[in-house]
């Protein structure tokens, strides 16, 4: 049975900015941690924006197949735009349990960008299309304000990720030999043209014992996560349920001791998990978090969330000892999943 022996570290954004939480980094990300930190008090408008964007994922997932097909990008290996059934489950079958909308977040660097600039991808244009292919957006008449709202929410999450990264930098500079600088991880998060967002819609379960998403590791540095939205698909209004009707449904993390811990993120908070790139950068001081999503055993209930994978530029080195770039590192991971 899942253990609840550990609770995630919860901090306010202002305390994080003012260096008051640096001593909590080992508890959040270190050897005996859950590998997650929850940041509260992020923005007055955050909760309403989160609700609007997550509700739009249900609208998106229920668009006619002809429209969804036009939002797919085979060129990007389905890591831009709409994707459903392109990834593989653990048993090597297509994943039809969820639909995803992938977005490159280069607009965080420049609002006019929908992908990396030419200088960032020279020599990589054909080999790393999941990161070099420009964004695809649904028509405004199909989902009003979808593009502007999703970009605004992604920008907000990346801004908070920069504050988390700065705290990590201060800690790592003190505790890791040869760590480049006190702004190393901050620079990666702030200056990345290849940070990727994934708006997720988990369809109401048909097999009520299934996992919506099997156990895996993210290959980001930091993954920003909103609180999930549960909806009763039979409700024509589409109001968010105050709680999941199945208390066991949701996000689970396998902690460093091997225990499985259910983690709930409050609606007004953003959580940040450690990924494999951060594990490489910190020489295993901050390890990637194994996690999965348990499906809802109550029929007719769907789940939506947004994950923002803050990750290096393609040519950035993620392993300081071997010199492996993020492009080569990410390519290994994506090829294993598709």
- DSSP state letters, 71-130: T--GGGTT-SEEESS-SB-TTS-B--SEEEEEEE-GGGT-TT-SS--HHHHTTTTTT-HH
Q: E-assigned strands of 8-92?
A: 9-12, 36-40, 81-83
Question: What is the architecture, at CATH level 2, of domain 9-337?
Answer: Sandwich (2.60)
Report pLDDT digits (tens) over 307-336: 999 998 988 887 777 788 888 877 776 655
Rounded to 5 degrees, φ, ψ at 199 are -85, 120
* Pair of tokens at residue 326: 């993020």
Q: What is the mean pLDDT of residues 286-306?
A: 88
- Beta bridge partner(s), residue 261: 253
Q: How confident is the model at residue 123 (pLDDT cuts 50, 70, 90)?
A: confident
The encoded tokens of residue 311 equal 């990750």
Angle at 195 between CA 99 and CA 225, to 5 degrees: 55
Nearest of 162, 154, 50 to residue 108 by alpha carbon: 154
Structure tokens at 268: 């007004």
CA distance 276 to 288: 5
Task: Name the DSSP class of 266.
Answer: -
- Can you tell me the mean pLDDT for 89-115? 89
According to DSSP, the residues that pair with 285 across neighbouring strands are none
The residue to which tokens 């029929």 are assigned: 299
**Which residues have a Cβ under 8 Å from the Cβ of 66 and sit 6 or more positions away?**
none
> Residues 201, 206, 212, CA angle at the centre, nearest 5°?
40
- Relative to beta strand 196-202, strand 98-104 is antiparallel
Task: Say what angle helices 46-61 and 146-175 make with each other, to 10 degrees.
Answer: 120
Write down the pLDDT at residue 1.
34
Residue 284's pLDDT is: 82
Token duo for residue 257: 């001791």
Closest CA to 317 of 303, 302, 327, 307: 327
| Phi, psi of 110, deg, nearest 5 | -150, 120
Global pTM reads 0.92
Give 142-181 pLDDT, tens digit per residue. 999 999 999 999 999 999 999 999 999 999 999 888 888 8
Q: How far, in Å, CA of 315 to CA of 324, rounded?
A: 9
Mean pLDDT calculated for residue range 244-273: 90
CA distance 53 to 48: 9
Residue 126 CA to residue 321 CA, distance in Å, equals 27
pLDDT in tens, 38-57: 999 999 999 999 999 999 99
Average model confidence (pLDDT) across the chain: 88
CA-to-CA distance for 242 and 171, rounded, in angstroms?
37
Q: Lowest mean pLDDT: which of 67-71, 189-193, 238-242, 261-265?
A: 238-242
**To the nearest whole percent, how much of the chain has pLDDT over 90?**
55
Mean pLDDT of 219-235: 91
Which among 12, 7, 8, 9 has a CA at the least distance from the CA of 40? 12
pLDDT at 116: 93
What is residue 287's predicted lDDT score, i.e. its pLDDT?
A: 80
Tokens of 281: 């950068």
């Amino acid at each position: 049975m899942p253990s609840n022996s550990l609770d995630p570290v919860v901090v306010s954004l202002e305390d994080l900015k003012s260096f008051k939480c640096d001593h909590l980094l080992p508890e959040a990300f270190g050897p005996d941690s859950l590998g997650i930190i929850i940041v509260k008090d992020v923005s007055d408008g955050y909760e309403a924006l989160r609700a609007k964007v997550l509700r739009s994922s249900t609208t998106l997932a229920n668009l006619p197949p002809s429209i969804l097909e036009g939002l797919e990008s085979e060129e990007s290996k389905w890591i831009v735009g709409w994707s459903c059934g392109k990834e593989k489950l653990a048993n090597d079958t297509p994943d039809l349990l969820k639909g995803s909308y992938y977005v490159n977040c280069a607009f965080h660097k420049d609002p006019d960008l929908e992908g990396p600039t030419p200088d960032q991808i020279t020599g990589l244009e054909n080999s790393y299309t999941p990161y070099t292919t420009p964004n695809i957006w649904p028509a405004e008449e199909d989902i009003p304000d979808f593009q502007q709202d999703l970009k605004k929410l992604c920008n907000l999450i990346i801004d908070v990720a920069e504050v988390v990264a700065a705290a990590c930098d201060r800690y790592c500079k003190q505790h890791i030999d040869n760590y480049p600088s006190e702004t190393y991880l901050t620079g990666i998060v702030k200056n990345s043209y290849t940070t990727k967002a994934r708006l997720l819609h988990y369809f109401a379960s048909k097999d009520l014992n299934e996992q919506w998403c099997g156990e895996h590791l993210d290959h980001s540095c930091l993954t920003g996560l909103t609180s999930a939205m549960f909806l009763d698909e039979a409700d024509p209004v589409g109001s968010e349920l105050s709680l999941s009707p199945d208390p066991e449904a949701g996000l689970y993390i396998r902690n460093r001791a091997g225990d499985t811990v259910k983690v709930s993120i409050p609606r007004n908070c953003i959580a940040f998990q450690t990924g494999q790139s951060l594990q490489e950068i910190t020489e295993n001081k901050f390890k990637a978090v194994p996690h999965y999503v348990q499906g809802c055993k109550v029929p007719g209930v769907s789940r939506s969330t947004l994950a923002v994978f803050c990750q290096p530029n393609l040519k950035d080195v993620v392993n300081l000892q071997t010199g492996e770039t993020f492009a080569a590192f990410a390519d290994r991971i994506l090829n294993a999943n598709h």
